[in-house]
Amino acid sequence: MSESKPESGPVINPRVTCEGCSVLLDINDGDRLVFARLSAGSTLKIGNKTYSLQPLIGCPFGSLFQVESGKEKPYLSRFVPPTEENNVQDEGGSQLQEESRDNRAIIDNNQAQTLTGEDIDAMRRQGATGNEIVEALIANSATFDKKTQFSQEKYRLKKQKKYAPRVLLRRPFCRSICEAYFKKYPARIGFLRVDALSLLLSMANVTANSDALVVDMVGGLVTGAVAERLGGTGSVCSTYLGGTPYPIEIIRMFNFSDEICKRILRCSFNDLCSVQIETGEQVSQHEDDCTMESQSNEKTSLSIGTEDVHLSSNNGDTDLVPENKLSSSSKTCKAPKAGEKAPKEAIQSWKENGFSSLIIAAPEQDAWGLVKDFLPLLTYSAPFAIYHQYLQPLATCMHNLQLEKMAIGLQISEPWLREYQVLPSRTHPCMQMSGTGGYILSEFQVAQLGDPPPPWVNLSRNKNSDRISNRNFWLIFQWLNPRPCSLSMVSGKYANWDCAFCIG
Amino acid sequence: MLLMDSSKKISFNRCIREGDLVIVYEKHDTMKAVKVCENSVLQNRFGVFKHLDWIGKPFGSKVFSNKGGFVYLLAPTPELWTLVLSHMTQILYIADIGFVVMYLEVVPGCLVLESGTGSGSLTTSFARAVAPTGHVYTFDFHEQRAASAREDFEGTGISNLVTVGVRDIQGEGFPDEFSGLADSVFLDLPQPWLAIPSARNMLKQDGTLCSFSPCIEQVQRSCETLRSDFTDIRTFEILLRTYEVREWKMDHSKFEDGSSIAGPPCKRRQPSSEASVGDDTSFPAVVARPSAETRGHTGYLTFARRKCVS
């Protein structure tokens, strides 16, 4: 499924479909959602019939299509509903007569409809449109006139959906992709609901020109959402622990331009932390640091002085598959150019400046473990947000962050979302509702000691932050250990830090 | 707000300079926006803080007063700004703001129309979402509030992304110059149905509209008006529930009735150095519960898409 979009040439109008772009098809007003890639040969199945998607190419997003009976077989045709038609459903809108009918006399014995299945098939063969069939069904229903007005509307709508299905062409955007997945395959995105995702993006202050670090274990949805907000500026680094990148296929759905695609980069955690490479004058200092680390660091497998990027042995991982091989094999199942391995210049820049936001969406992992590892890569005063399906790991993480004073403004939030049906005289919350959209822990990174460290020093902080041994950070080492000063954090309120005696 | 110029964005190397806007963080619910000026001081319950001490330090630093008290200095973000700005009107908070920006599909390069501006809380987030190539045109019929908002946007550094106009959108609609150009329209008006026909003209096909109304009657009337030219009309309510986290020592030995589950645990203050961790009969647990006070309602958010007619 990796057809390439026309790359060079005129700017692709993002509001019109084109050959090879991905679309979201909304069948019967939200009843069914299907992702598809438009091409001459792609098809869609509705009921027991298959329809070609060719007519959809070149149409604006938001177009509506209806099934029409063609000469050979039914096809999808573009359909613009006249404005009057919508009023039919409301029967003149606000002016509703006093409804005198009710359903006391209606017996549901499956005998009300006189048209049979064969009759309908015959009508179809004669070329009747879907709407005509619906009208015929209504005309032949013994109980239709006895129904209340609302009930009639419901009946008409139901028949329409079956005999004259409509397909709405939707643009795959962060919102529609998230909603579709949440409805169809919520487990694949870790039950991340659309409002939780929007909170993650806001709380992490994802904006243009920012460098975002994302730990995305929800199929690529968060990476894609961040890339969408970056809009072709800044960069988003989708990182991973160990040697295998997490799958991020969902970014293929987004129809990203090349400019956006090339800013979606991948880099393993090890590479992000690795010792500096290629800058000659700092090599000797690195060797010093490496020596210090290897002496105090229990992971003595660290190779001293070799500034090579492949330090996968560092974490004790036996997965030593070289990075290049992995990324090239996973390249074939990614959209062209998105999710490329981060080039050395990018890694360099990230290390020097730090990332400006961090989002962790790892609904099956321990939050604290991940935060400990990734937090040092974040620059000072940068916000970060962690999503989890369960509350407990976030509570533990928040508690630890409070104790170790690594962050301020800590807050665990749970979004609550309810949809309403708004119709004349029939307004109420929808009968169905999502029970949970997950939990989010949000906070701001603080600067340690107030003095900016030289860039290369950050690396050593990454290796087991609870065993920090770098000589420039011995002060922090004492400060971060849980000390009597944690007494002052009374009743879980993290605000009363009157513990000046903690320092030094 | 450190948006447009990538040289100004936060990084390990970026330090506080004269003229920067910082958010002074005292507690999670006490924050203040301050413009750094080398001759100024900040006075609060922790003492007197000289701005001069701040210059040259990175954002996120802890700074001290003459009395030894301290605060943190954070770089401003739209979320922090929402919490510190001066309220001239009721504002939208992060839950609504985040949802609106996502649901309106606002991305860099979009053109967004908004009315009313109010205190500029949502406008700031729109500016963030459309940067660096988009623009937000916001209108308020109250001249003084519009001027005040303009000043705020200057102060937060987003004035080249936002244009504030004084106009009665309910009465006159949006200016014709935007016809067919807007990607998204946001309405926070007492009678949004009066502005909907104009919004319809402003929007591109499949463009998005959102109307925020506290009362359900307003929502009903808006939806009725929307039905002729808009599709995919959906109304939501969104709230945030926050949680408190604390550590408890669940002490089994204090149990009377001998059942094996740890029932109502005896709640003690934070682990003190005397009661060391090696207490055999008790073990600390981190527990979370929803905050007792929470918001009940902010408003209903009604979204719609402009129908395709060609």
* DSSP output for A48-103: TEEEESGGGTTPBTT-EEEEE--SSS-EEEEE---HHHHHHHHTSTT-PPP----S
- C-alpha span between B47 and B68 (Å, rounded): 8
H or E element: which one contains B239?
A: strand B230-251
Residue A422 has its nearest CB partner, among B57, B235, B269, at B235
Residue B236 has its nearest CB partner, among A171, A208, A418, at A418
- According to the model, what pLDDT value does residue B176 have? 93
> Tens digit of pLDDT for each residue in A199-223?
999 999 998 888 999 999 999 999 9
Query: In A, which residues are within 8 Å of B307 by CB distance?
Result: 62, 81
- According to the model, what pLDDT value does residue B282 have? 60
Which stretch of A383-397, A413-427, B254-268 has the lowest confidence by average pLDDT? B254-268
Give the Cβ contact number of residue A354 at 10 Å.
Answer: 27
- According to the model, what pLDDT value does residue A501 have? 33
For residue A486, pLDDT beyond 50: no
- C-alpha span between A448 and A268 (Å, rounded): 25
Overall average pLDDT of the B23-42 stretch = 87
Backbone angles phi, psi at A187, to 5 degrees: -65, -30
- According to the model, what pLDDT value does residue A85 have? 42
Per-residue pLDDT band for B279 (boundaries 50, 70, 90) equals very low
Per-residue pLDDT band for A499 (boundaries 50, 70, 90) equals very low
The three-state (H, E, C) secondary structure of B31-87, written as one string: EEEEECCCCCEEEECCEEEEHHHHCCCECCCEEECCCCCEEEEECCCHHHHHHHCCC
- C-alpha span between B107 and A448 (Å, rounded): 34
Looking at the complex, does the CB of residue A435 fall below 8 Å from at least one CB of chain B?
no
Cis geometry, peptide bond prior to residue A219 (ω within 30 degrees of 0): no
A229 and B206: CB-CB below 8 Å?
no
CB within 8 Å of chain B, chain A residues 276-335: none
Tokens of A399: 């508690």
B13 and A353: CB-CB below 8 Å?
yes
Overall average pLDDT of the A459-484 stretch = 36
- C-alpha span between A454 and A458 (Å, rounded): 8
Q: Which of A68-77, A486-495, B260-269 is most confident?
A: A68-77
- According to the model, what pLDDT value does residue A17 have? 86
The larger pLDDT score, comparing residue B9 to residue B97, is at B97
Per-residue pLDDT band for A181 (boundaries 50, 70, 90) equals very high
CB-based contact A404:A397 (threshold 8 Å): no
> Tens digit of pLDDT for each residue in B164-196?
999 999 999 999 999 999 999 999 999 999 999
Residue A379 has its nearest CB partner, among B11, B77, B228, at B11
Per-residue pLDDT band for B30 (boundaries 50, 70, 90) equals confident
For residue B58, pLDDT beyond 60: yes
Burial annotation A137-154 (CB, 10 A radius, 16+ → b, else e): beeebebbebbeebbbbe
Per-residue pLDDT band for B201 (boundaries 50, 70, 90) equals very high
Per-residue pLDDT band for A73 (boundaries 50, 70, 90) equals low
B101 and A495: CB-CB below 8 Å?
no
Q: Rounded to a whole number, what is the distance in Å from the CA of A317 to chain B's nearest CA?
A: 30
| CATH 3.40.50.150, chain A: domain bounds | 174-446
- According to the model, what pLDDT value does residue B6 have? 59
* Percent of residues, chain A, with pLDDT higher than 90: 20
CB-based contact B81:B33 (threshold 8 Å): yes
Of B82, B119, B126, B112, nearest in space to A208 by CA: B126
A209 and B9: CB-CB below 8 Å?
yes
Give the chain A residue nearest B22 (alpha carbons): A381
Overall average pLDDT of the A38-47 stretch = 85
The larger pLDDT score, comparing residue A272 to residue A423, is at A423
CB-based contact A341:A324 (threshold 8 Å): yes
- C-alpha span between A293 and A291 (Å, rounded): 5
Q: How far is CA A360 from the centre of its chain?
A: 12
- According to the model, what pLDDT value does residue A457 have? 40
Tokens of A235: 């960069």
| ipTM score of complex | 0.87
CB within 8 Å of chain A, chain B residues 208-267: 216, 219-220, 223-224, 227-229, 231, 233-247
Which stretch of A92-106, A363-377, A392-406 has the lowest confidence by average pLDDT? A92-106
Looking at the complex, does the CB of residue A398 fall below 8 Å from at least one CB of chain B?
yes
Per-residue pLDDT band for B254 (boundaries 50, 70, 90) equals low
Overall average pLDDT of the A239-255 stretch = 88
User: Which residues lie below 8 Å from residue B99, measured CB to CB, with a gap of 6+?
Assistant: A194, A195, A198, A199, A417, B236, B238, B301
For residue B232, pLDDT beyond 60: yes
Orientation of helix A174-184 relative to helix A194-203, angle to 10°:
140
Q: Rounded to a whole number, what is the distance in Å from the CA of A341 to chain B's nearest CA?
A: 23
Q: Rounded to a whole number, what is the distance in Å from the CA of B139 to chain A's nearest CA?
A: 24
Count of helices and strands (H, E) across chain B: 8, 14
> Tens digit of pLDDT for each residue in A443-464?
888 876 444 443 444 433 333 3
For residue A307, pLDDT beyond 70: no
| Arithmetic mean of pLDDT over chain A | 72
For domain A174-446, the question of CATH label 3.90.850.10 is answered with: no
Q: Rounded to a whole number, what is the distance in Å from the CA of B175 to chain A's nearest CA?
A: 24
CB-based contact B3:B128 (threshold 8 Å): yes
Which stretch of A238-252, A254-268, A277-291, B53-67 has the lowest confidence by average pLDDT? A277-291
Query: In A, which residues are within 8 Å of B239 by CB distance?
Result: 415-416
Residue B273 has its nearest CB partner, among A94, A234, A484, at A484
Burial annotation A78-87 (CB, 10 A radius, 16+ → b, else e): eeeeeeeebe
Which stretch of A191-195, A254-258, B260-264 has the lowest confidence by average pLDDT? B260-264
Give the chain A residue nearest B55 (alpha carbons): A450
CB-based contact B41:B196 (threshold 8 Å): no
B12 and A229: CB-CB below 8 Å?
no
Rounded to 10 degrees, the C-alpha dihedral A94/A96/A102/A107 comes to: -70
- C-alpha span between B241 and B262 (Å, rounded): 27
Q: Rounded to a whole number, what is the distance in Å from the CA of B9 to chain A's nearest CA?
A: 8
- According to the model, what pLDDT value does residue B252 have? 63
Tokens of A57: 């190419």
Identify the bridge partners of residue A268 per DSSP, sorted by sequence position. A240
- According to the model, what pLDDT value does residue B11 have? 77
- According to the model, what pLDDT value does residue A489 have? 33
- According to the model, what pLDDT value does residue A306 have? 30
Residue B238 has its nearest CB partner, among A353, A415, A447, at A415
Residue A399 has its nearest CB partner, among B107, B239, B247, at B247
Of A14, A42, A13, A16, nearest in space to A169 by CA: A16
Looking at the complex, does the CB of residue A83 fall below 8 Å from at least one CB of chain B?
yes
For residue A13, pLDDT beyond 50: yes
- According to the model, what pLDDT value does residue A320 have? 25
Per-residue pLDDT band for A97 (boundaries 50, 70, 90) equals low
Q: Would you give the DSSP letter of residue B5? A: -
For residue A224, pLDDT beyond 90: yes
- C-alpha span between A295 and A289 (Å, rounded): 10
For residue B55, pLDDT beyond 80: yes
For residue A292, pLDDT beyond 50: no
Overall average pLDDT of the A215-244 stretch = 91
Of A258, A204, A249, nearest in space to A231 by CA: A258
CB within 8 Å of chain A, chain B residues 84-113: 94-95, 97-99, 101-103, 105, 107-109
Q: Rounded to a whole number, what is the distance in Å from the CA of B127 to chain A's nearest CA?
A: 10
Looking at the complex, does the CB of residue A430 fall below 8 Å from at least one CB of chain B?
no
Overall average pLDDT of the A258-281 stretch = 74
User: Which residues lie below 8 Å from residue B300, measured CB to CB, with a gap of 6+?
Assistant: A420, B212, B213, B214, B216, B218, B219, B235, B236, B237
Tokens of B156: 């937060």
- According to the model, what pLDDT value does residue A82 have? 61
Per-residue pLDDT band for A497 (boundaries 50, 70, 90) equals very low
Per-residue pLDDT band for B303 (boundaries 50, 70, 90) equals very high
> Tens digit of pLDDT for each residue in A110-165?
777 877 778 777 777 777 777 778 888 888 887 888 788 888 888 888 888 887 88
- According to the model, what pLDDT value does residue A317 have? 31
* A407: amino acid identity, one letter: A
**Measured CA distances, A449 to A372, A382, A479, A483, B57 (Å):** 18, 16, 10, 17, 10
Per-residue pLDDT band for A335 (boundaries 50, 70, 90) equals very low
Looking at the complex, does the CB of residue A416 fall below 8 Å from at least one CB of chain B?
yes
